[in-house]
Amino acid sequence: MISTIEELVATAEKRGCKISTLVKELEAKSTGKSEEELFQRMRSFLQVMKEAADKGVSQEIRSVSGITGGEGLKMWNAVDRSLLGRTAAMAAARAMAVSNVNASMGKIVAAPTAGSCGILPGAILTVGERLSKTEDEMVDSLFTAAAVGKIIALHATLSGAEGGCQAECGSASAMAAAAVVELAGGTPRQAAHAVAMALKAVMGLVCDPVAGLVEVPCVKRNAMGAVEAILAADMAMAGIESVIPADEVIEAMKEVGCMMSYKLRETAMGGVAATPTGKKLSEKI
């Protein structure tokens, strides 16, 4: 069994294959299911991601509480004016669109959680479209993302209640960064550097949901997470390396999560949840 990013990369390098090729093979072996069955299941997930993203950029989706809504649509309408450029703006728009759908009790894929469900679709659908990749290639990249998430879950956590937002949106961003590198034709080694850089960027990020709801600041953090993933991938494919290896960054993330006060781990007692406005909104709901 592969349990570290280093093993994952080294094995893929030795075999001269993509990370996703290796992951599909290993997963088929360990679950007793065929690679085809796994692939079709992942394809159905990509489909749900795409439907949610399309919905959220084409209509104003309001949340059940009414605190958030329409961010995906607003950003989508502004992509041509974006200073960062269309790719970043579209990734951000799609990430918020999926998050909007989630907050409205619509259908999404937890990736790895519902709170961070916009990051992977935002990054992958946008980069896939930009580089004219096939649906199969996008599905493959989700396997690479899942493998990264699995390793993070093994050594740290993916839950905001345990490790803060760094563990939830941070992990989603790291998973997306690896997926983007593979989708764009980068190497497994570059994917690992992208994972490390994405996680380092949000090291210590707290989980501070206003009124305990997956809305503020979650919807907008999904946008940041998607753009950050693409930037981490760009940096890695430019040849920039993370000084600290991904596996050590994951361990550090876990340690930071342990040091974090419970007030900063999804309890809505710290961060923006504890601001005057945050409290006022909480009382209203």
Partner 1 sequence: MDIFDIIGPVMIGPSSSHTAGAVRLGNLARSILGEEPKKAKITLFNSFAKTGRGHGTDKAVIAGLLGFMPDDERIKTAFEEAHERGLQYQLFAEESGEGLHPNTVSFELEGATKKTQVTGCSIGGGRVKVTAIDGFEVELSGDYPTIITVHKDRPGIVALVTALLAERGINIAQMRVSRKKKGQEALMMIESDEKLPGEIKEVLGNIKDIYRVITFSE
- Nearest distance in Å: CB 240, partner 1: 27
For the bound state, the minimum distance from the C-beta of residue 104 to partner 1, rounded and expressed in Å, comes to: 7
| Residue 191 CB partners (closer than 8 Å, separation 6+) | 9, 19, 144, 148, 177, 178, 181, 182, 236
Polymer length of the chain: 285
Q: Got the DSSP string for 49-101?
A: HHHHHHHHHHS-PBPSSSS-B-HHHHHHTTGGG-SS-HHHHHHHHHHHHHHHH
Least distance (Å) between residue 114 CB and partner 1: 5
The answer to whether 282 and 268 have CB atoms below 8 angstroms apart is yes
Q: Chain centroid to CA 241: how far?
A: 21
User: Judged by CB, which is closer to partner 1: 70, or 241?
Assistant: 70
In the complex, what is the shortest distance from the CB of residue 80 to partner 1, in angstroms, rounded to a whole number?
A: 29
CB of 90 to partner 1, least distance (A): 21
| Dist CA 100 CA 61 (whole Å) | 6
Least spacing, CB of residue 218 vs partner 1, in Å: 9
Binding site for partner 1 (CB under 8 A): 23, 27, 30-31, 38, 41-42, 44-45, 48, 63-65, 101-115, 117, 120, 142-143, 145-147, 149-150, 153-154, 158-159, 161, 175, 211-215, 268, 285
Nearer to partner 1, 41 or 74 (CB): 41
Of 56, 93, 124, 54, the closest CA to residue 223 belongs to: 93
- Compare residues 10 and 114 and give the one whose CB is closer to partner 1: 114
Rounded alpha-carbon distances, angstroms, from residue 33 to 38, 39, 139:
7, 10, 17
Tokens matching residue 191 = 């994917």
Q: Which is nearer to partner 1, 105 or 243 (CB)?
A: 105
The nearer residue to partner 1, 103 or 227, going by C-beta atoms, is 103
- CA-based nearest residue to 240, from 201, 271, 266, 212: 201
Which DSSP letter does residue 156 get?
S
By beta-carbon proximity to partner 1, the closer residue of 150 and 189 is 150
Closer to partner 1 by Cβ: residue 89 or 215: 215
* Between 79 and 179, CB nearer to partner 1: 179
CB of 154 to partner 1, least distance (A): 8
SS3 213: coil
Confirm if 64 and 103 have CB atoms less than 8 A apart. yes
**Closest approach of partner 1 to the CB of residue 6, in Å:** 19
